[in-house]
Amino acid sequence: MRRTVYTCIITLLLYGGKLHAQHKALSLSAALEIAEKGNRTVQAQLLEEIHATALTKESKGALLPTISANVSYSYYFDRQTIFLPGYFAGTSKPVQEVAVGGKNAFNGMLTLYQPIFATDLNRQKKTALINEQIERQKTADLKSKVALRVSVDYLNILIMSEQLALFEQNLLRNIRSLNDARSLFVQGRALKSDTLRSFIEVENIRSSVSYLKNSINVSLIELKRLIGMDESQNIVLSDKLEFSGQHDPHLLDELLKTAVQNRKDLAIKQLLIDLQQKKKGGP
């Protein structure tokens, strides 16, 4: 019975270790989507944009009409009395006591406030609108920069992985050459310098392989940190490096024109100039 329990525990530990060691395939498009939602810098900038939007709504609300209403109810247990001459009240008495008013009284009041000449409020509204546009441009610019960094890091890891595969193949070939040199040296058919040269070559390639492996691991950690993924999670890049060999110069010109038109930094600078003019009371 005890042996069965131990066997179950060991099986569960081994199975859990295998599950923990599973790698998650990550494509470049998936990395970009995760970075848009998980990057901390982007999330902080989104909060700034939300704050700017709230300030814009607040400045617009200050120019809207304000309507207030008030209703009150009063109940009188005893009606008020006044004294009138009898002939006014239609009696023969010289003085007649007459009850006036009612026991239930309702009072209502409606107030409308509309700012008409409010230059400061109008200026605040215009500056808030420009500031909101600036924050939106900053968010778009930051997202594009983060996407560029993710793409560059992703492609660099793929390039280093290809280099690592080539170095490992080269290492195997040089190890075989070293074994052959040792065998020939034992047989007296090769010099000791040939064996030493092959050994140095193998060790140099081995150090390059170790350096590339460490660089790939560090780059993977930086990539996971950039996109906001847990650093303890194992990932494998699923995309491959492909080059069609075709080049269209007209497509490159169109891409350059689009890049110039979508320069967020230029749009932000122009909006900053407009903002300063609005603050100074310009048109």
Q: At what angle do helices 119-186 and 264-279 cross, to 10 degrees?
A: 150
221 versus 275: the higher-pLDDT residue is 221
The encoded tokens of residue 216 equal 């790939």
Digit-coded pLDDT (tens) for 26-54: 888 899 899 988 899 999 999 999 999 99
Average pLDDT over residues 254-276: 63
Stronger pLDDT, 165 or 8, i.e. the higher one: 165
Confidence (pLDDT) at 99: 74
Q: Which residues of 114-149 are buried (b: 16+ CB within 10 A; e: fewer)?
A: eeeeeeeeebbbbbbbbbbbbbbbbbbbbbeebbeb
CA distance readout (Å), 199 to 4, 54, 180, 266: 51, 69, 11, 57
Lowest mean pLDDT among 38-42, 151-155, 164-168, 188-192: 188-192
pLDDT band at 13 (very low <50, low <70, confident <90, very high): very low
Measure the CA–CA gap between 38 and 147, rounded to whole angstroms. 12
Map out the domains of the chain as residue ranges. Answer: 66-113
Q: Name, of 22-36, 127-141, 154-168, 188-202, the range with top average pLDDT.
A: 154-168
pLDDT at residue 281, as a whole number: 63
147 is written with which tokens?
Answer: 């996407």
pLDDT band at 1 (very low <50, low <70, confident <90, very high): very low
Higher-confidence residue: 9 or 96?
A: 96
Q: Does residue 61 contact residue 274 with C-beta atoms inside 8 Å?
A: no
% of residues, the chain, pLDDT over 90 = 26
Q: What does the pLDDT average to over 201-213?
A: 93
Q: Which long-range contacts (CB under 8 A, 24 or more apart) does 41-48 make?
A: 41/142, 41/146, 42/139, 42/142, 42/143, 42/146, 45/135, 45/138, 45/139, 45/142, 46/139, 48/135, 48/138, 48/139
Q: Which residue has the higher pLDDT, 166 or 91?
A: 166
For residues 124 and 59, the answer to whether their CB atoms sit within 8 Å is yes
pLDDT recorded at residue 6: 43
Specify the DSSP class assigned to residue 23: P
pLDDT digits (tens, 9 = 90+) for 97-123: 777 777 787 888 988 888 877 778 788
Specify the higher pLDDT residue, 107 or 244.
107
Average pLDDT for residues 258-271, to the nearest whole number? 63
Per-residue pLDDT, 173 = 93
